[in-house]
Structure formats: structure tokens, C-alpha cells
Amino acid sequence: METKISRRQFLTVAAAGATCGLTAQTLAGSWKTTLHKALIGKPDRKTMTQFREAGFEGLETQDWNVSPDQAASGRKIAESLGMRIHSVMRGWAKFNSKDKAVVEKDIASVETALRAAQAYGADAVLLVPCRIGGMAMPQPWEFDIDFDPKTGHVRRVVAGDNSPYQDYIAAHNHAVDTSRAALERLAPVAEKTGVIIAVENVWNNLWVKPAVFQNFVASFQCRWIQAYFDIGNHVKYAP
């Protein structure tokens, strides 16, 4: 049986559990990871110096369309300041475009971003494979998705009548198929460069529930295709 609690109840329970958490932390021993601070910015000396003086350790750059030599110069600047360029933001691609030339261009652009990331010394390229919109879609709180785990295709997006959302369902499933095809082509480049393609679903109306997104990423069974997750982008979909 599913039990729902209010936000107030959750906060009350969380506060009450804080003391228990301290005890558990003590018993568990030392913290086994390290949290790092970084911002998005241009990989030049002025920007990185400002970031470093503000207490940040790294930078995510949007300068993906550069040569490996240009990226290597940015890496040298970062390292001279004791910083890292940890990620490259490629952003939104159009793998679901009906124009094959557009798809090919965007696949090539991700290859460029991967090579730049390698030269920057970055671990990952942030990629949003595609966006859909312009049709009737459920309100964020209305989503109640059922999907085929073998294909990743959604079969239902709300409880009850789904006829108003057939165009959305078709667009979603088309985006799943085209994204998978593009990423399968890009995986060997990611492996060669040693850079993870970190798929994100920010503001693209796709994979709006954790199980659907997890299924898509896990379906590749590839260490070079993982997820880039920002919980702030998903608050609106919370029940």
C-alpha cells in the first residue's frame, strides 16, 4: 500500500531524524567521498582566477567547439591555478530531427565536444539528446507513466484517458529511438577519448520520471554512457 505524507510531515520527520543521523555517521566511520564546488564559465585565466578566489575548485565549460590544442591551453591555465575543467556542456542536440543532415551535424558536434573534453582533462560531456514540445502534454504533476522496459517506449503518460496525449507519446518514443541510435554511434568515440557522455533530460519533456530515465541510460550497458542529474530540474515532477 502506498502511503503519502505532506511536506510538513516530511520536514518534521527529517528534523527528528537528524540526531539519529549524527549517531549513525559516527558509527559508520569516515565520510567516503568528497564534495567539490564548481561553476559554469569560460576557461580563460581571468574567469578561473575569479572562480578560484571565490573558493571554487573547478569549472564546467560551454566552449565545446574548439580544437584539442585550444582545449589543452585551457587545461594548462586551470592546472596552474590548482583547478580542473571537469565537464564540457554540449547541451541540446537534435537527434530527433526529421532532417538527416541536422542529425549528422549534431552527432559530429558531440564528437568534437568529446575530443575537446579529452584535451581539457574533463571527465564528461553533458548532452541533452533532443527536445520535444508543441503538442498537448500532461501537467508535471499529472504524469503517471507506464513504459516498455525493453524498448523504453511509453505506453501511458497519465492515469485514465490518454487520447489527448497521443502526439506526445509518439514524439517521446521517436526521440527515444533516435537518441539511442545516435548514442550507439557515439559510444566508440567516448571510449576512445576516455570521456563519458553524460545524458541529461533538462527542459526537454523527456524521461520525466526516474524509472524511465534510468531504463534508457542503463539500456546501453556501457560505462561511457551515463547520466548527468540535476535534481532542481525535476522538482516540478514530484508527486
Domain enclosing residue 104, as ranges? 92-237
153: in domain: yes
- The backbone torsions φ and ψ at residue 138, rounded to the nearest 5 degrees and listed phi first, read -65, 155
Q: What is the pLDDT of residues 149-195, one digit of tens each?
A: 999 999 999 999 999 999 999 999 999 999 999 999 999 999 999 99
181: in domain: yes
79: in domain: no
Q: What's the pTM value of the predicted model, to 2 decimals?
A: 0.82
217: in domain: yes
Q: What is the pLDDT of residues 25-70, one digit of tens each?
A: 444 556 667 666 666 888 899 999 998 999 988 899 999 999 999 9
For the chain, the domain total comes to 1
Three cell numbers, residue 144 = 503517471
Where in the chain does DSSP place strands (E)? 38-40, 58-61, 84-92, 124-128, 146-147, 154-156, 196-199, 225-227
- The backbone torsions φ and ψ at residue 143, rounded to the nearest 5 degrees and listed phi first, read -60, 130
1: in domain: no
Q: What sign has the CA pseudo-torsion 138, 140, 141, 147?
A: positive
177: in domain: yes
Which CATH number goes with the domain that contains 230?
3.20.20.150
Residues sharing a CB contact under 8 Å with residue 66, sequence separation 6 or more, in sequence order: 74, 116
